[in-house]
Structure 1
Amino acid sequence: MTDTLIFVDIPADDPSAAAAFYAEVFGWRNDPKPEGLYHRMVPGGQFMNPDGTESLIGNLHIGIFKADNARPHPDAGGTEPKIIAQSGRKPRIWLLIGDDDTAERILTAACARGAKELWRDHYWSTFNGYNHAFMDPWGNEIILWGKAGQHPDIPDSYTRE
């Protein structure tokens, strides 16, 4: 078996507030471990089998860690750097928009809670998908991905590459 990605962590100076943001925007369960220091966001559900039934594999989770004391770490006080990166490129988190949700709803909900819209309505032909993006209040870039389907009807208003 190859090495397997199981988790992605994002920093916040207030993990409780960040966890509330993601719970409100995406409906994910907030699982504090412990409250204010590290929060596991549980999106729920399972990866799907080719026949449309749920597999035994749970969807990936996102962790939110306190930037000034990233856990786990052998030193109880954490290690440098103890601030959220302020400039330059950071990792981007890609989220598949559920069949019962829309990019419009997500972007509106995120921006109403302090996020900044980065772009919307873009089609990426390489992976045949519609994408939109926002930066959460802690500087993390979230890319929303929508499946375009076998013969996509790309609106004229969309940018393309």
Structure 2
Amino acid sequence: MPDTLIFVDIPADDPSAAARFYAEVFGWRNDPRPEGVYHRMVPGGQFPNPDGTDSAIGNLHIGIFKADNARPHPRPAGVAPRGLSQDGRKPRVWLLIGDDDTPERILGEAAARGATELWRDHYWSTFNGYNHAFMDPWGNEIILWGKAGAAPAIPDHFTRE
């Protein structure tokens, strides 16, 4: 069996506020471990089988860690760097838009809570998806992915590649 991805962690200078942001924008359960230091965000549900029923595989989680003392670490005080990265490329987090949700709602809720909309309405033919993106208040780039389907009707105003 290959090595398995189980978590992706994103930094914040205020993990409690970041956890509230993600709970309010996406409806995820906030699981502080402990409050203000590390928060596991639990989207819930299971990955679906091809027939739409739940598989035995749980959805991936996102962790939010305190940038000035990333845990776990062998040194109790952690190590540098202790600030949020503001310049240059960073990892991006891709989220599949649920069938009962819309990118407009997500982008609006995120912006209302301090996020910056980066772009919207883009079709990526390589993976047949509609994409939109925002930067959360802590500088993390979130890309929303919408399924385009077997014969996508790409709106004229969408950019394409």
Measured against the shorter chain, the TM-score band is over 0.9
| Alignment RMSD | 0.3
**Cα distance, 1:50 vs. partner?**
1.1
Q: Give me the whole-angstrom Cα distance separating, in 2, the residues matched to 1:86 and 1:120.
A: 22
**Alpha-carbon displacement from aligned partner over 1:61-101 (angstroms, at most 9, x marks no partner):** 00000000000000010111001111000000000000000
Q: Which residue of 2 aligns with 1:35?
A: 35
**SS of equivalent to 1:131:** strand
Q: Which residue of 2 aligns with 1:72?
A: 72
TM value normalised by structure 2:
1.00
**Alpha-carbon displacement from aligned partner over 1:115-150 (angstroms, at most 9, x marks no partner):** 000000000000000000000000000000000000
Residue type at the aligned position of 1:159: T
Q: Give me the whole-angstrom Cα distance separating, in 2, the residues matched to 1:23 and 1:70.
A: 21
**SS of equivalent to 1:16:** helix
**Cα distance, 1:13 vs. partner?**
0.0
Q: Give me the whole-angstrom Cα distance separating, in 2, the residues matched to 1:47 and 1:138.
A: 28
**SS of equivalent to 1:99:** coil
Q: Which residue of 2 aligns with 1:112?
A: 112
Q: Give me the whole-angstrom Cα distance separating, in 1, the residues matched to 2:16 and 2:88.
A: 25
**SS of equivalent to 1:73:** coil
Deviates more, 1:44-53 or 1:28-37: 44-53
Given the alignment of the two structures, is residue 45 of structure 1 paired with residue 35 of structure 2, yes or no?
no
TM value normalised by structure 1:
1.00
Residue type at the aligned position of 2:35: E
Q: Give me the whole-angstrom Cα distance separating, in 1, the residues matched to 2:155 and 2:97.
A: 18
Q: Which residue of 2 aligns with 1:16?
A: 16
Q: Which residue of 1 aligns with 2:122?
A: 122
Q: Which residue of 1 aligns with 2:57?
A: 57
Determine what percentage of the aligned residue pairs are the same residue.
83
Residue type at the aligned position of 1:18: A
Q: How many residues align?
A: 161
Q: Which residue of 2 aligns with 1:97?
A: 97
**SS of equivalent to 1:34:** coil
**Unaligned segments of structure 2, at least 5 residues:** none
Q: Give me the whole-angstrom Cα distance separating, in 1, the residues matched to 2:130 and 2:154.
A: 9
